[in-house]
Amino acid sequence: MATQSLVLPEVSTRRAIRRADSQRSTRLLLGSSTTARTLAMIALVLMTAIWLLPFAWAIITSFKTETDAASAATVWPASGWSLQAYVNVLTKGDLPVWMLNSVITAVLVTAITLVVSAMAGYAFSRTMFRGRRLAFAITVASIMVPGQILIVPLFQQMLTFRMVDTYAGIVLPQVVAPVMVFILKKFFDAIPQELLDAARVDGAGPWRTFSTIVVPLSKSILVAVAIFVFIGAWNNFLWPFIVVSDSSLMTIPVGIATVTETYGLQYARTMASAMLAALPLLVVFMLFQRQIVRGVATTGLGGQ
């Protein structure tokens, strides 16, 4: 409660700033012309309609009976709306298991990537050791390596390590993220040395400095990186598809890709499973739109 009352005024100022921002940009880009505003609005509504259409059509199909879905592409089904497709997917398929697998693997990938990359970024930014420059140069150069070309040797490696059809096999090859090391290093570079010196005077060693000064100061970029890595891991298709063949270990993208074949021509059921697979991340996005937008933009722009 106490924290809430502290936070509220800050939020309302931010909202005021946002409102002022949007008013300003309206004036700056469009001027006060009503025609321009109307035209822009029409364009926006049209594009939004186009972009939402596939969602709308999938949702409509998913609430039809199989017979209606397979009869004609009309919005209103002849025999009324039905939840049967969802019931079937949730009770008869493996979807809940895939969902769980996706959560477990995506959380693990995110957590490990974050810890490993933040530590490496700190090593490159604030410590001295022999070979640091060379190691950093190699890390940066490796950003260019397209992961997909490594699937053949990586799969062989998984066979050797007996990691085919395991969580470890899905997760570990995904935690190598040199671009995140680069982004975090750049962010750490900007932390004023005085703060670190102060910690040192207080007798803090490198570990204390890292965990009590650097990490708290870098919350924003760490959240941004975490969001980016999580989305990537949640939606990764190729690698889990190759390393897992056991249905009980599949992640959502891999699992529902095989669903079409299993369900054959059951369109309502296919769309119901697609929408359920889409739901978790869409809900998270609805709740945290601001943070996600900022996180993706910052990370996508290389931490600038």
3-state helix, strand, coil in the chain (%, to 5): 80, 0, 20
| Minimum CB distance to other proteins, residue 3 (Å) | 26
254 binds other proteins (CB under 8 A): yes
| Minimum CB distance to other proteins, residue 116 (Å) | 5
Beta carbon nearer to other proteins, 223 or 281: 281
Q: Tell me the two tokens of residue 143.
A: 């950003």
Helix axes 219-235, 267-287, angle to 10 degrees: 180
- Rounded Cα distance between 270 and 260, Å, is 6
Q: Determine which residue in the list 213, 223, 247, 253 makes contact with other proteins, applying CB under 8 A.
A: 253
Contact 62, 272 (CB under 8 A): yes
| Minimum CB distance to other proteins, residue 6 (Å) | 26
| Minimum CB distance to other proteins, residue 91 (Å) | 20
Beta carbon nearer to other proteins, 63 or 267: 267
Ramachandran angles phi, psi of 145, nearest 5°: -70, 120
Within residues 44-73, the interface with other proteins by CB under 8 A covers: 44, 47-48, 51-52, 54-55, 57-58, 61, 69-73
Contact 303, 221 (CB under 8 A): yes
| Minimum CB distance to other proteins, residue 59 (Å) | 10
Binding mask 169-188 for other proteins (x = CB under 8 A): ---xx-xx-x--x---xx--
Contacts of 73 (CB under 8 A, 6+ apart): none
81 binds other proteins (CB under 8 A): no
115 binds other proteins (CB under 8 A): yes
217 binds other proteins (CB under 8 A): no
Residue type, 212: T
Q: Determine which residue in the list 11, 15, 16, 22 makes contact with other proteins, applying CB under 8 A.
A: 22
| Minimum CB distance to other proteins, residue 293 (Å) | 6
Q: DSSP for 42-94, please give it.
A: HHHHHHHHHHHHHHHHHHHHHTS-HHHHTT---SS-TT----HHHHHHHHHSS
133 binds other proteins (CB under 8 A): yes
| Minimum CB distance to other proteins, residue 80 (Å) | 19
28 binds other proteins (CB under 8 A): yes
- Rounded Cα distance between 218 and 213, Å, is 9
Q: Determine which residue in the list 205, 219, 246, 261 makes contact with other proteins, applying CB under 8 A.
A: 205
Contact 199, 274 (CB under 8 A): no
Contacts of 95 (CB under 8 A, 6+ apart): 89, 252, 255, 256, 273, 276, 277
Q: Determine which residue in the list 224, 231, 243, 244 makes contact with other proteins, applying CB under 8 A.
A: 231
Span near other proteins by CB under 8 A; candidates 7-15, 87-95, 189-197, 215-223: 189-197
Beta carbon nearer to other proteins, 82 or 269: 269
Size of the site for other proteins (CB under 8 A): 117
